[in-house]
Structure 1
């Protein structure tokens, strides 16, 4: 019912998030856009296997939203880092029905011809200290990844670390089957290992 869709690097500014990605991976990011409702903006990087990476931050040129921003960006501070992983669902409502409360309610979003629904908690904070995946349902055939090209980058592993990581793993097991994703007990955080044209890199 769920597949890994993309990963998100947050920054206090978009330029900080982009710089972190580009300096770590040694590849240039591509244009993204602005997000209505949450008033954020991003840049994108295509990965192999139909995945992509986004660098995201609060858009200082946009007004304050009337609700908490997604990805807990209202409280973000410090250096740019990997903060979220996003899984796509064919039926977002069905996925939310079998998961505990806290994953959020669907919000309808659009940018250009891209249309999607994303489950966003009213507080902006995802379960397990933001280590649980955000859930997305793309509507129609349009998706960012095919437009970006892979750029020589492949996600090899995604490590989800949390004191209750095994509880999260058990919760997601019926819905997500992906050998790249592992769950490790420890302080909350995410780490992604990538192969960039034969060179190993880590985003954390």
Structure 2
């Protein structure tokens, strides 16, 4: 029902997030832009069938009257992986199979890209943000089509949760991607990438 779409790393500033990722992975990020509704902005990295996103609050944009997505209003500290995003062709059909606080469909734009995303009222996704955000792309445009191929490929996304068994059970009927591994532990994400210079890790 769901397909792995992209990974998000949050940062207090976009510049700090980009510097963190480029130092860890040894590549330059490209593309990205503004999300007017959420008052956030991003930079991207093409990973073949997926892409990687660095996202942060846009300091010059007027703050929304509701919580931003990806729990960004509460974000603090070093840049780090915070979310993964899965796409569906039918958001309304997918949501009933997800935990009840996965979110309500919201229409969003960035330039000429159009999509709908399930955004929780609190900005916090189930299982302390370990459950994926759901996205439904509108039309034929997708960021992967526009991004230069970095040559990197996701090897593994490890998602630690104190509720690992319950999270695995919630995900089992929705997605089966061998790159996604759920482990028991304090909330954290760790991604490893196959690169021309060997395996590199980002947390």
* Alignment TM-score > 0.5, same fold: yes
Q: 1:149 Cα deviation (Å)?
A: 2.5
Q: 1:110 Cα deviation (Å)?
A: 1.3
Deviations 1:63-96 (A, max 9, x none): 1111100000000000001110000011111110
Counterparts of 1:186-197 in structure 2, within 5 Å, are 186-197=185-196
Residues of 2 paired with 1:112 and 1:62: CA distance? 16
Q: 1:97 Cα deviation (Å)?
A: 1.1
Aligned residue in 2 for 1:30: 30
Residues of 2 paired with 1:31 and 1:113: CA distance? 13
Q: TM-score scaled to structure 2, two decimals?
A: 0.98
Residues of 2 paired with 1:197 and 1:128: CA distance? 35
Residues of 2 paired with 1:101 and 1:53: CA distance? 27
Aligned residue in 1 for 2:130: 131
Aligned residue in 1 for 2:149: 150
Q: TM-score scaled to structure 1, two decimals?
A: 0.97
Deviations 1:24-81 (A, max 9, x none): 0010000210002110000010002x20001100000101111100000000000001
Aligned residue in 2 for 1:119: 118
Compute the RMSD of aligned alpha carbons: 0.8
Aligned residue in 2 for 1:178: 177
Aligned residue in 1 for 2:16: 16
Q: 1:137 Cα deviation (Å)?
A: 0.4
Residues of 1 paired with 2:50 and 2:149: CA distance? 8
Residues of 1 paired with 2:111 and 2:36: CA distance? 11
Residues of 1 paired with 2:169 and 2:69: CA distance? 25
CA contact (8 A) 2:155 2:179 kept: yes
Q: 1:114 Cα deviation (Å)?
A: 0.8
Residues of 2 paired with 1:60 and 1:161: CA distance? 31
Residues of 1 paired with 2:50 and 2:135: CA distance? 13
Residues of 2 paired with 1:122 and 1:12: CA distance? 21
Residues of 1 paired with 2:77 and 2:176: CA distance? 33
Equivalent pairs counted in the alignment come to 203
Counterparts of 1:25-104 in structure 2, within 5 Å, are 25-48=25-48, 50-104=49-103
